[in-house]
Amino acid sequence: MHELSQDLLHRPVRVLVVGCGGSGSAIATGLPYLHQSMIVSGHPGGLAVSIMDGDAISPTNTVRQPFCASEIGLNKAVVTVSRLNLFWGVHWTAFPEHLADTTDLGNVDIVIGCVDTRSARRLISKKVEGLRSRVSYWLDLGNSADGGQFVLGQPLNGRNRRSANRLRTAAELFPEIVDPQTEDDTEPSCSAVEALERQEPFVNQVLATQALALLTRLFRHGRIEHHGGFVSVAAPRAVPVPVSPALWRRMRHRGAKLRIGA
């Protein structure tokens, strides 16, 4: 069992979404619902969300991501945040830049990583760890052709180092996902047909919904019994990752191999 950090119940929760592609845009679209549910439940500020992505919208992006032809060439984060602010009346922020161009993550409470390479995950892992970091949670999403996984962890840093039964991060449970030497072929698809062949439809949406449901349970009930899961749209099935130190040790000992993508 894991209980929510109490300081997140008394002020706006600062969320940074890194990556605004397939999974990132699906996460961004769902975050306002979590924000509204927190507000009506008495939370003093809900979510204060920032979305970071340095990429521009390409013609291929309009096939599997929620962007249209008239937005080609515009920045993904700016377009997404503009829509959310206009529709929901929130005042969220866009950062049209790559994570590598930032010095640190400041006082972010929750980092949601929706990146598509191991080197990008390694960069997130480095920025959320260490004594200077105050990040409370890192939620990592990754997917393959017909499934994926999501893991909510507490990075080993100045904020969490004394936490009892600290939630292990995706990088701790599966070190291979932050090893650039085992990088998968995740180069952007050069055509709409190739993009569709690389991944089954709705993988991103299913994965994002599961991850958002986990965050919602954490804030609604103040505790969770699992902190991630594996999802397949081919089976279909979902397998939870329980909050279990014994399981964490077994997973690391066995060196579980995952195929992790965007």
Task: Give domain status of residue 260, yes or no.
Answer: no
Task: Give domain status of residue 259, yes or no.
Answer: no
Examine the pLDDT at 243 and tell me if it is beyond 80. Answer: yes
- The DSSP bridge pattern shows strands 47-52 and 93-95 to be parallel
Task: Give domain status of residue 261, yes or no.
Answer: no
As to burial, measured by CB atoms within 10 angstroms (0-12 exposed, 13-18 middle, 19+ buried), residue 23 is buried
Mean of per-residue pLDDT scores for the chain: 86
Lowest average pLDDT, out of 41-45, 166-170, 241-245, goes to 241-245
Q: Name the pLDDT band for 218 (thresholds 50, 70, 90).
A: very high
Task: Give domain status of residue 53, yes or no.
Answer: yes
> What is the percent of the chain with per-residue pLDDT over 90, rounded to a whole number?
60
> What is the percent of the chain with per-residue pLDDT over 70, rounded to a whole number?
86
Lowest average pLDDT, out of 43-57, 68-82, 89-103, 243-257, goes to 243-257
Examine the pLDDT at 262 and tell me if it is beyond 70. Answer: no
Residue 94: what pLDDT? 97
As to burial, measured by CB atoms within 10 angstroms (0-12 exposed, 13-18 middle, 19+ buried), residue 221 is exposed
Q: Name the pLDDT band for 222 (thresholds 50, 70, 90).
A: very high
Examine the pLDDT at 128 and tell me if it is beyond 70. Answer: yes
Residues 6+ apart with CB under 8 A from 40: none
Examine the pLDDT at 198 and tell me if it is beyond 70. Answer: no
CB 59 within 8 A of CB 192: yes
Residue 250: what pLDDT? 64
Residue 163: what pLDDT? 79
Q: Where are the alpha helices (DSSP H) in the chain?
A: 22-40, 61-64, 76-88, 118-128, 170-173, 192-198, 203-221, 245-254
**DSSP for 79-136?**
HHHHHHHHHH----EEE-S-GGG-S--TT-SEEEE--SSHHHHHHHHHHH-BTT----
In whole angstroms, how large is the CA radius of gyration of the chain?
A: 17
CB 22 within 8 A of CB 204: yes
Give the mean model confidence (pLDDT) for residues 216-233: 92
Other CB atoms within 10 A of residue 41 CB: 10
CATH of the domain at 74: 3.40.50.720
Task: Give domain status of residue 92, yes or no.
Answer: yes
* Host H or E run for residue 49: strand 47-52
**Domains in the chain, number:** 1
pLDDT tens for 73-125 read: 999 999 999 999 999 999 999 999 999 988 778 789 999 999 988 999 999 99
The single-letter code of the amino acid at 191 is S
Question: Which residue range forms the structural domain that includes residue 94?
Answer: 2-254
Task: Give domain status of residue 240, yes or no.
Answer: yes
Task: Give domain status of residue 243, yes or no.
Answer: yes
Task: Give domain status of residue 232, yes or no.
Answer: yes
